[in-house]
Structure 1
Amino acid sequence: MNLQKFKSIFTLLVLGTIGYLIHKTAFYFWVPKLYQDQFVYTLELLYLFFFFFSAFLILVLDLVKQKSINSVGYTFLLLTTLKMGIAYIFLKPILAANLEKTPIEKMSFFIIFIYFLAMETYVTIRILNNKQ
């Protein structure tokens, strides 16, 4: 069994868990529990959504690399655009709410989105730099 191809997903899992723990700790100290209870999506749900989408993206990029290394960049752009569209659909209820807690929830959503996007970009760069 080739465990090397799952190294990126394991790294994503570890970094995602670290990011979640830091985020949860920051919420514990700076965001009132009342606000957290009123969020449209829980922090856990957002991290799970972005983790699974990022893992899917990495697996697809690995498959594309096997077939044609020249298509990896285009596939990354296509899947990232798809992810942004789905994330916008997730974000619409948050944008529609106009409550005290809404700015915190928006900022939290975008932090998670950018954090996972940065990890996906790093993995894609690693794949493209290891051309053979």
Structure 2
Amino acid sequence: MNLKKYKPLLPLLVLAGLAYGIHRVIFYVLHINDSTFYYSIETLYLLFLALSIMVFVVLLKVKERSFDNVGMSFLLSTSIKMIVCYLILKPILRVTIEIKSIEKINFFIMFILFLAIETILTIRILNEKQ
């Protein structure tokens, strides 16, 4: 297994770890208790990280075979990821308690954060051709 071709995954891991640390500090400073959340923060970070890694593995495989299809593969894999995230979010959306609104906001912020990280790293992959 050639680990050099999976080197673009390293910034993803570093940024996810940094985001998790900042997230924990913000929850500590704002005294937000996440023990009542449907999904723990750790579970969500692992889930989003696993989905992002799968997206990048797909992109790296597509890059090897046909560099011109990387952008379309990114759009398709991100759309599939969005469907999976919606299915995961469904139980949280059903609850109408005020406390759960923090959990909904937390989920969407994490989704947007990982989407931004994936987009930036995909741009880096696409710029390698130039």
Q: Deviations over 1:14-70 (max 9, x none)?
A: 11011001111111121432xx12111000000000001101111110110010011
SS at match of 1:128: helix
Q: Distance in 2 between matches of 1:32 and 1:59?
A: 35
Q: Distance in 2 between matches of 1:9 and 1:111?
A: 21
* Runs of 4+ that moved beyond 6 A: none
Q: Distance in 2 between matches of 1:116 and 1:32?
A: 22
> What is the root-mean-square deviation of aligned Cα atoms in Å?
1.4
Q: Which one has a larger percent helix, Structure 1 or Structure 2? A: 1
Question: Where in structure 2 are there 5+ consecutive unaligned residues?
Answer: none
Q: Distance in 1 between matches of 2:71 and 2:110?
A: 23
- 1:81-96 correspondence to structure 2 within 5 Å: 81-96=79-94
SS at match of 1:38: coil
Cα separation, partners in 2 of 1:92 and 1:52, compared to 1, 3 Å: same
Alpha-carbon distance, 1:80 to partner: 0.2
Alpha-carbon distance, 1:103 to partner: 1.4
Find 1:113's aligned residue among 111, 114, 123.
111
Q: Percent identity?
A: 48
The question of 1:53 aligning with 2:59 is answered no
Q: Distance in 1 between matches of 2:84 and 2:127?
A: 29
Question: Where in structure 1 are there 5+ consecutive unaligned residues?
Answer: none
2:125 aligns to what? Answer: 127
Alpha-carbon distance, 1:2 to partner: 4.3
Equivalent residue letter for 1:82: I
Aligned length: 130
Equivalent residue letter for 2:44: L
TM-score, normalised relative to structure 2: 0.93
